[in-house]
Chain A
């Protein structure tokens, strides 16, 4: 269970880790506690599975990648197989089964358009794929998963 301290630590640590020599000391100051307590608690929260990862959130476009969202209609009996092929691409970061006719949705990051189209063409031709819709973004308004824990 998360203590009140854990929640305030998690609220801060989701966005405010700085590029300074002792980043956890700065977090500790905000929480009026010690650097050691912050570090130990973060280790605990990571081991317990509350924290998936600590690190930078990159802007894929600024790093020269292109991204898209793809929706598929896949025949039920082929779903696991098709999902497996999709998962094999390292540029696929999210692959979710969803309750709709378009029942498999994944995001794909690629170094260029040619590579993206090659991958989509392969997936489009897999057995069991009835329909594939490529849905690239035209405008990004928000990308920030942040849970305010109360």
Chain B
């Protein structure tokens, strides 16, 4: 379980990461703990999967991926794992989830596609449809980003 120090570390790691030679020493000083204690716990979070990855989040528009499309698919229940594993390996798929469907909304599988243009997104989706044999899908293009932030855990 997470103790109070874990939560403090998680909160501070969500703030601006110091771009200096020894960033963890600086963060540890602000926390009032030793650098080794901080690095030890961060490594444990990664081993236990609490941290999936450590690195930079890019602004996709600026790096040329202006179009993104959430695709909702109808996948037969018995094929979900097979298709999920297959598409997870696909570089153009950034998010891939099975979700419950709802009355009037039969779609139960979602892929997030990023590409340079909307047309490219359509081509990518058609290619996925061909490779998986899935015919029923809908492309949900975003027209306005009302909010996009990284989650601030344990801030309340």
Complex Cα gap A84–B153 (Å): 21
Question: For chains A and B in complex, what number of residue pairs have CB atoms within 8 angstroms?
Answer: 231
Within 8 A of B (CB), among A92-132: 92-100, 102, 104-106, 109, 131
Question: Could you say which residues of chain B place their CB within 8 Å of the CB of A25?
Answer: 21
Docked Cα-Cα span, A145 to B39, in Å, equals: 25
Kindly state whether residue A77 has any CB partner on chain B within 8 Å: no
Counting contact residues on chain B (CB < 8 A from A), the size range is 35 or more
Query: Once bound together, how far apart are the Cα atoms of A109 and B105, in whole Å?
Result: 22
On whether A145 and B95 interact (CB within 8 A), knowing A58-B10, A59-B52, A139-B80, the answer reads yes
- Contact B55 A17, beta carbon cutoff 8 Å: yes
Is the contact region of chain B dominated by helix, strand, or loop, or is it mixed?
Answer: mixed
B150, closest chain A residue (CB): A53
Total interface residues on A, using CB and 8 Å?
Answer: 76
B22 smallest CB distance to A (angstroms):
6
> In the bound complex, do residue A135 and residue B99 qualify as a contact, i.e. CB atoms below 8 Å apart?
yes
Whether a CB of chain A sits under 8 angstroms from the CB of B76 is no
Complex: A136 Cα to B110 Cα, angstroms? 11
Interface residues of A (CB under 8 A from B): 2, 10, 13-25, 35, 39, 42-43, 46, 48-60, 62-65, 69, 71, 83, 86-87, 90-100, 102, 104-106, 109, 131, 133-149
